[in-house]
Amino acid sequence: MAERPAPLVLVATPRDDLPFGSHAAVAATGQHLLANEMANRLGALGAATTPLPFSCAESPFHWGRWFSAAARTALSSSEGEVDAIGYVGAGALALLDDLDLDGLLTPIRGEVVANNRFSADAFVVAGDLSAALAALETCATDNGAPRCLADAGFAWRDLGSAAWARFDVDTTLDLALLRLATHLDGQRPLAGPVSAHLEMARLPGDRALDVPHLAAIGDVVRDRGAELVVTGRISGRTWAELEADAACRVRGMIEERGMRAAHGGPGPRSLLAAFMARTSPAELVAELAALGDAVVLDTRVLMAAMAETSDAGAWPPSEERFASDFGDAGRISTPWLCELTSAAASAPVPFLLGGHALVSDGLRLILRAAWQGR
């Protein structure tokens, strides 16, 4: 049997024009280093790779048109036959081991393999690449890529059962969670440049990349008389681990899973955002604080509901979102987010604010840290 041609994978890199020392610049540097590491890992597994630089030429940004144009250019300049093409977002799959990463490169003809078929950060599709790119060209975000391909007739398979397949670095808090992972037993070691950045990077205010309130939340996790409150896009796997591994009681409110991949229908909705709109951000914090001894809050669900769209371009700017995750209200101009962040920072119980990575694999890392004494 003839050897199958190597898949061609486009590895995204973030923008590089961000203010030095900002949260966004620290996150982007980490993503650049992770993208370089990913290209090396994919190459070692036999894939051909090419960088996919961020482009803001089109406003609002449309992922499908950006990716499809770059993919067609890469295919036209590729030497030899290519029957599978893929994409890895900047910062995606950072904790996935090589065996499971190799699984991403194995679609059969007419199939797409993704790290999460409902909200993808990475995928490889094989077969009729012209039809695949035509379908992907209509896809507004990478999260919805597998669904667009499924609608075009491709079968789909995901790596959801693989450990850490869905961990994705988008923010400085995600980098802090990645740094935490490097200190835990049993996690994949990272390349030297990535590890060095995680240890040496400083956030505004000369803060290290430490997960806020980690020790206090660990105390709650280990306390059978305590209660942990978690809200947002909590995955089934994460909830199962909370149920099994947390000694404390866990109160959860799951809202808007898959909101970035959804297409059609009403915009994002949130009971917490509705409560906040009828009262105030400070009242929401007070209500959540009264429910437990620590709170983990997916603020991106609130942002999407307040903006009535899952398009992050309509949310508070990335610098404000990232600053909020670290309780830095002084860098936030959006009134409701500033009030929420200030109230959470002064709440009587620890609040950990963040996005999807926090309430999915991030919580799993925090559970492990609690029991490993980190």
- Digit-by-digit pLDDT tens for the chain (374 residues) are 345 678 999 999 998 888 888 999 999 999 999 999 999 999 999 999 999 998 765 667 899 999 999 999 999 988 778 999 999 999 999 999 999 999 999 999 999 999 988 889 999 999 999 999 999 999 988 999 999 999 999 999 998 778 899 899 999 999 999 999 999 998 889 989 999 999 999 999 999 999 999 999 999 999 999 999 999 999 888 999 999 999 999 999 999 886 755 545 567 899 999 999 999 999 999 999 999 999 999 999 999 999 999 888 899 999 999 999 999 999 999 999 999 999 999 999 999 999 999 999 999 999 999 999 87
pLDDT of residue 265: 54
SS3 297: strand
Global confidence as pTM: 0.93
SS3 126: strand
Residues of the chain with CATH 3.40.50: 212-372
Residue 279 has which token pair?
A: 């009262």
| List of residues 6+ apart from 82 with CB closer than 8 A | 5, 6, 7, 8, 48, 75, 129
CA 86 centroid distance within chain:
18
Instruction: Work out the angle between the directed axes of helices 63-76 and 129-136 (0-180°, nearest 10).
Output: 150
Q: Class of the 212-372 domain? A: alpha beta
Counting every residue written for the chain, the total comes to 374
| List of residues 6+ apart from 159 with CB closer than 8 A | 96, 100, 103, 104, 113, 114, 115, 116, 165
| Superfamily of structural domain 8-158 | Spore Coat Polysaccharide Biosynthesis Protein SpsA; Chain A (3.90.550.10)
Residues of the chain with CATH 3.90.550.10: 8-158
- Exposed e or buried b for every residue in 94-114, given b needs 16+ CB within 10 A? bbbeeebbbbbbebeeebbbb
